Structure 1
Amino acid sequence: MTQRTSAERPYLSIGEVLGLLLEEFPDITISKIRFLESQGLIVPERTASGYRKFYDDDVERLRYILTEQKDKFLPLRVIKDRLDTPPAGTERPEPQRPEPQRPEPRGIKNVVSASEVAQREEESEEQATATDSPVTKTHPASRFPKAVTTTSEPRAQSSTRRPALPDPSDAVGRPATYSRVELLELSGLDDATLKDLEAFHLVTARQVGTQGLFDEHDLAVAEVARGFTDAGFDVRHLKSWKISAEREAGLFEQRVLPVLRRRSPESRQESNELLDDLSDLGGRLRAILVARAVSPLRDSR
């Protein structure tokens, strides 16, 4: 199969954003980017066919959020308040930012398979943008525009962008279910590896009629599994992550269930926010501990 080509675009797909930031933030995933969007911290524009479009200011806003989490351990609500509340007496300008570069991620390659599958359908050539102007850097809210869902003025074109490869699972209106053939195509896995993932209960097809369907979590696991298998690992090695995740979820359950038992109108929202915070803290702690554990390997000569 031949790789398609398309015109240069002034924006990135979600997979390309992941590849761009992965080296700087090793714990970032497509699911985490979507989660930040669901919380209103980022609101990338969409093409007519539903794919997300990340411009320079979207990428820099995302980088700021991840940096605040990593360096200052701030909850998402605090970060959002800092982004959305400008300092008194200041305007919220549109930022002008340098072109993000795409460094090749170190370590395990091909983890970000969502942006590397060459046969996916190309995004529509939509051009929707906003004008840029100098930016004040004295306050987080004045460094980034508040997330909006529409724009009326075109953004400046970028001549150094590579063609954006869309993430098909990112399309609006598309059911978050995938047939076996779709999952194999999108993740780049072979059928034997997918069977191994099923055998170790890392992915599970739900029977709908005569067809087994996978969800977006299964797709995300398959993408990561491909990176590990490309690096020489067996699927059985990934079982430890599942066990660790289940133990972590069990620990969170002990804290969340008492909140749910209150049965008040606010308890559901409070429990969801608590789960978000705990999941975020758990992910950061895990990344810190792994980074510390592998540091002797990086420093060894």
Structure 2
Amino acid sequence: MSIGEVLAQLRVDFPDVTISKLRFLEAEGLVEPQRTAAGYRKYSWDDVSRLQFVLAAQRDQYLPLRVIREQLAERDAGASSGRQRPALVAVGPGGEVPGRAVPEQPVESSELRLGRVDLVARSGIAESTLVELERLGVVVSDPPGWYDGDALIIARAVAGLAAYGLEPRHLRGYRTAADREVGLFAQLVAPLARQSDPAAKARAAETVRELAALSQQLHAALVRVGLRSTLGR
């Protein structure tokens, strides 16, 4: 299969996957598609199975690539014992699967652009709440008057918290804690981000994703532990 055909297969279960993501996983040695004489990638069903394994481990378990690589090595060592191959289906020349809707091309959160009215409408927050969030630095418009996908995620989370009685003023601590993490993680990612090599920049972006996922896991676990006494557990 071509990389476009593989992308169509994977997007059924992983709608956010992109071609650049597949190239990155190849650069990291997690999958090794064959090449034609002209240099085009050709993937086997085994390659697709490996990609499904990697993407599921990242999405469902937030595993870093180092751990996934180790698990793949163990998986390969016992490859002959019961590995299941994905069901074969026909794939069209453009990567589409007949009879199956093709997911929309995902838009990176930094690429989405929403006006103020759209942000309020899609998030469910009040205009006055948005004003307060901007004053606290929780939501930032960039460029002025336009908001990206992360601003929408933040606004929706605020709307959800508001349903439980939390007000924007309660969120100042979130902003402070996030700024501390940004400073810490930036030191880890900066050496890669400064390189001109596209592969290095891809690794920097993947590192940020992994750090953010691990941070979310840590935060959620600490909150659960802290509330055990309140729940009487």
TM range (shorter): 0.5 to 0.7
Letter matched to residue 190 of structure 1: A
Pairwise CA distance, 1:229: 1.3
Q: Does 1:277 align with 2:210?
A: yes
- Partner of residue 267, structure 1: 200
Partner of 2:159: 226
Q: Given the superposition, is the C-alpha separation of residues 215 and 237 from structure 1 closer, same or farther in structure 2, using an over 3 Å criterion?
A: same
Work out the CA distance in 1 between the residues paired with 2:187 and 2:107.
35
Which residue of the partner structure matches residue 186 of structure 1? 122
CA contact (8 A) 1:183 1:219 kept: yes
Q: Distance in 2 between matches of 1:267 and 1:63?
A: 23
Q: Give the 3-state SS of the residue equivalent to 2:177 in structure 1.
A: helix
Q: 1:213/1:270 Cα in 2 relative to 1: closer, same or farther (>3 Å)?
A: closer
CA distance in 2, matches of 1:226, 1:91: 43
Asked if the contact 2:58–2:64 (Cα under 8 Å) also holds between the matched residues in 1, the reply is: no
Q: Is the 8 A contact 2:112 2:149 kept in 1?
A: yes
Q: 1:1-301 maps to which residues of 2 (within 5 A)?
A: 37-38=17-18, 39=21, 66-69=59-62, 74-76=63-65, 79=68, 82=72, 87-88=79-80, 90-94=83-87, 150-153=96-99, 176-207=112-143, 212-260=145-193, 266-299=199-232
- If each structure's helix is expressed as a fraction of its own residues, which one has the higher value? 2
* Letter aligned with residue 75 of structure 1: P
Contact 1:188 1:226 in 2 (8 A): yes
Under a length normalisation based on structure 1, what TM-score does the superposition of the two structures give?
Answer: 0.47
**Contact 1:68 1:79 (8 Å CA) reproduced:** no
How many positions carry a matched residue from both structures? 179
The equivalent residue for 1:25 is none
Aligned partners of 1:190 and 1:181: how far apart in 2? 10
Give the distance between the partners of 1:219 and 1:269, measured in 2 at CA: 24
Divergent runs of 4+, >6 A: 61-64
- Cα distance in structure 1, aligned partners of 2:186 and 2:126: 35
Q: Structure 2: state its 5+ residue gaps.
A: 1-13, 26-53
Give the deviation of 1:237 after TM superposition: 0.8
Letter in 2 for 1:182: D
Whole-angstrom distance in 2 between the partners of 1:64 and 1:263: 29
Separation of aligned partners in 2, 1:262 and 1:180: 35
Q: State whether residues 180 and 213 of structure 1, in contact with CA within 8 Å, keep that contact through their aligned partners in structure 2.
A: yes
Q: Measure how far apart 1:67 and its partner are.
A: 4.4
Cα distance in 2 between the residues matched to 1:297 and 1:200: 29
Higher relative contact order (CA 8 A, sep 6+): 1
Separation in 1 of the partners of 2:86 and 2:196? 44
Q: In the aligned structure 2, how far is the partner of 1:77 from the partner of 1:186?
A: 38
Structure 1 residues 93, 253: CA separation in 2 closer, same or farther (over 3 Å shift)?
A: closer
With the length of structure 2 as denominator, give the TM-score of the two structures: 0.59
